[in-house]
Structure 1
Amino acid sequence: MSDLTIPRDRNDDYSAAAVAARQALVRERTGASIEHVASYSLDPGSLPGNVEGFIGAAQVPIGLAGPLLVNGEHAQGEFLVPMATTEGTLVASYSRGMKLTRLAGGITTTVVEDKMQRAPVFTLPSAREARHLAGWLDEHFAEIAAAAQETTSSGRLIEIQRFFASKMLYTRFNYTTGDAAGQNMTGKATFAACAWIKRNYPGELHFLLEGQFATDKKTSVVNMLHTRGKRVVAEATIPSALMEEQMHVSNDKLFSARLKGQLGAFMSQTNNNGNHSANGITALFIATGQDVANVAESSALYGFSELLPNGDLYVSVTLPALIIATYGGGTGLATQRECLEMLGCYGSGGVYKLAEIIAATVLAGELSLGGAVVAEEWVSAHDSLGRNRP
């Protein structure tokens, strides 16, 4: 058996001595110098709740894209957008799309739904008793919501969706969560609610707090249809002459390519009929301290475009499961907070604004890459900007 043990300090595992001990272990056992990993400006004392076994920081380059013109209900005006990435051409491509949409008058954004859920499954003796429980949940919703509310000051249970299978009732407890992403919040609240149900339901039942129906950090049709996080729409209209001037492609050719892409997306059964929403979302998530694993859900996209009678092109993206926060989690760490402040989104009241900025950024990126592919500039752009090798 190996004698390898990672050093821990039960009293203060983020102290300089504890960090140095782990760094020394890495150097001794692996031979890696970790010169850059061990160089950072953040305060380790701010990290409890964010990381364990801390040894240093990963430095991801941040590029500045924009300006991005947003005509939102929460995000209004021009924004400089920080994007953390190691992929050459990405920031340049998004900036190109932002220029196009800015010259066209900007991108209109709308947050249309806000839900975060936990999805317990209840097992009953029979299907009829599962049906009875569904009705009982409706009758006692106020008491169930009150039990959930005791665990949180910012979350609020707004509905319980029900789905039947065999003698089981799969549910989705839907909450609003304020400026937090809310996965942990909804878990704690739903456990309290389920405990109340088990105590008060006049019959036999068992529950599992998560029946894999919230599909946490996994893409799914149920979340795309019913929303997880923020459902936000970004839309713009691009004049034909402007598209040809900036993207070197006509609106009708771009629209034709869009139709071919729709069929390809349908054939491959993807969660996304766009080009590369995950690129922009991931870069913004890393920069602003979001839980990057949520890209699995947040990158889901419904793209729609329409060639108008005058030759202009209407374009839109709908992000049905954008999971973000401007408070809590990694948003308060040093560089992440600075990037949120750059966007004017840090802290209370900023989450819808951030959702609109992200959706507008995604639309700009869809237009830029779509134009590059049709104009046959995609490969040459990567050759000139995306290579750091001789």
Structure 2
Amino acid sequence: MTRGPCIAFETLERAGAAKVWLDSEAGQQTMTEAFNSTSRFARLQSIKTALAGTNLYPRFKTTTGDAMGMNMISKGVEHALKVMSTECGFDDMDIISVSGNFCTDKKAAAVNWIDGRGKSVVAEAIIPGDVVRKVLKTDVDTLVELNIAKNLVGSAMAGAMGGFNAHAANIVAAIFLATGQDPAQVVESSSCITLMKNLRGNLQISVSMPSIEVGTLGGGTILEPQSAMLDLLGVRGSNTTNPGDNARKLARVIAAAVLAGELSLCSALAAGHLVQSHMAHNRSAPATRANTPGPASGAQTPVTAAMTAMRERAGLAALSPAAVLRAAGTKK
């Protein structure tokens, strides 16, 4: 995770001196020791500095365990800047803001696209050519051409910043809400470039997502339904063996889901099914118990299958789905 405060000096000479010190080995060591002293999990990895006139913007990049970590990193940055001011010869510096937008949080920005923020994930799948034809109702070359024309060239024509994909934000937003993440961080977390190519007659598809901002403890993850969803994924709370692994796994789950969503939508577009399916489903009557057919006898949807597994695991077979979620959410 990153935090980029804004520090002001009276003259450019002093701002430049502070930048030189922060970029030096001695400066990095001093700030690392100060930052790391504030947490058991937060560990400073690097500081990247930028000058704008007499304003200095140091971008702190840190680990935060399994938490998304904004509070953790802000606390560490605040203490490190205090040490810089009081012990390192920069008592003339003015801390304008602990967040100076060089982080940058909840905004599309090149710094996140290039340097990453949170978790940076690349996911890949190879789809056999016959599966593309029989299941996705299109062919490999058509999908590759569509991806270039739409997700790469079309996005470039629009001046996209990290938006070289079909609809990554749809999947990211859904999982964020379901697992208790900060929905405002969908902005940068959905930055994604989707690539496709013909690999010896098969479809090779990948998504690269440099700034997925997630945590598996704290914030909205403590809510019962969201906690239950994290339980289903096997990532709730902190990983006691290797702190940070749960959050990294959740980020990988999100990237894999985004890849599946990209494949689905692009295939529908290539086959000409998008409008047809939207008209069929969006124009139908609102779903009610009376007009919504249930699954075939003995069949289970993914949701009911998950609920059944939760009941069996918790010994709650006779309880309602709502009761199962409450029980799963409170089980520690």
SS in 2 for 1:347: coil
Whether 1:232 aligns to 2:114 is: no
* CA shift in 2, pair 1:284/1:387, >3 Å: farther
Match of 1:298 in 2: 189
Residues 187-266 of structure 1: pairs in structure 2 closer than 5 A: 187-203=74-90, 204-208=92-96, 209-261=98-150, 262-266=152-156
Question: Any conservation in 1 of the 2:35–2:76 contact (CA below 8 Å)?
Answer: yes
Question: Any conservation in 1 of the 2:32–2:44 contact (CA below 8 Å)?
Answer: yes
Match of 1:272 in 2: 163
* TM-score (norm. length: structure 2): 0.79
Cα offset, 1:302, TM superposition? 1.8
Consecutive unaligned residues of structure 1, counting only runs of 5 or more, are 1-115
Could you list the structure 1 runs, at least 4 aligned residues long, displaced by more than 4 angstroms after superposition: none
Which residue, out of 117, 138, 143, partners 2:2?
A: 117
Match of 1:42 in 2: none
Which residue, out of 223, 234, 242, partners 1:344?
A: 234
Residues 1-390 of structure 1: pairs in structure 2 closer than 5 A: 116-137=1-22, 138=24, 139-203=26-90, 204-208=92-96, 209-261=98-150, 262-270=152-160, 271-308=162-199, 310-349=200-239, 350-389=246-285
Consecutive unaligned residues of structure 2, counting only runs of 5 or more, are 240-245, 287-332
Cα offset, 1:233, TM superposition? 0.6
Alignment deviations for residues 348-388 of structure 1 (CA, whole Å, 9 cap, x no partner):
13111111111000000000000001101111112233345
Alignment deviations for residues 23-73 of structure 1 (CA, whole Å, 9 cap, x no partner):
xxxxxxxxxxxxxxxxxxxxxxxxxxxxxxxxxxxxxxxxxxxxxxxxxxx
Q: What is the letter of the counterpart of residue 88 of structure 2?
A: Y
Q: What is the letter of the counterpart of residue 135 of structure 2?
A: Q
Alignment deviations for residues 196-215 of structure 1 (CA, whole Å, 9 cap, x no partner):
11112324222221211112
Structure 2 CA distance, aligned partners of 1:382 and 1:346?
Answer: 35
Alignment deviations for residues 101-135 of structure 1 (CA, whole Å, 9 cap, x no partner):
xxxxxxxxxxxxxxx11101222233333222122
SS in 1 for 2:219: coil
Structure 1 CA distance, aligned partners of 2:139 and 2:284?
Answer: 32
Cα offset, 1:194, TM superposition? 0.7
Structure 1 CA distance, aligned partners of 2:40 and 2:110?
Answer: 30
Structure 1 CA distance, aligned partners of 2:106 and 2:272?
Answer: 35
SS in 2 for 1:282: helix
Q: What is the letter of the counterpart of residue 27 of structure 2?
A: H
Structure 1 CA distance, aligned partners of 2:218 and 2:65?
Answer: 11
Question: Any conservation in 1 of the 2:194–2:262 contact (CA below 8 Å)?
Answer: no
Structure 2 CA distance, aligned partners of 1:371 and 1:346?
Answer: 34
Q: What is the letter of the counterpart of residue 341 of structure 1?
A: D
Structure 2 CA distance, aligned partners of 1:189 and 1:388?
Answer: 53
Q: What is the letter of the counterpart of residue 108 of structure 2?
A: T
Match of 1:99 in 2: none
Cα offset, 1:339, TM superposition? 0.6
Alignment deviations for residues 229-281 of structure 1 (CA, whole Å, 9 cap, x no partner):
00001111122211011111011011111111111100111221110001111
Alignment deviations for residues 289-347 of structure 1 (CA, whole Å, 9 cap, x no partner):
11111101101112222222x22221110111100011111112111111111111111
Structure 2 CA distance, aligned partners of 1:235 and 1:273?
Answer: 16
Cα offset, 1:217, TM superposition? 1.0
Match of 2:317 in 1: none
Name the structure with the higher helix share. Answer: 2
Cα RMSD of the aligned pairs, angstroms, is: 1.5
Match of 2:319 in 1: none
SS in 2 for 1:306: strand
Bigger mean CA offset, 299-308 vs 199-208? 199-208
* TM-score (norm. length: structure 1): 0.68
* CA shift in 2, pair 1:373/1:187, >3 Å: same
Structure 1 CA distance, aligned partners of 2:130 and 2:52?
Answer: 54
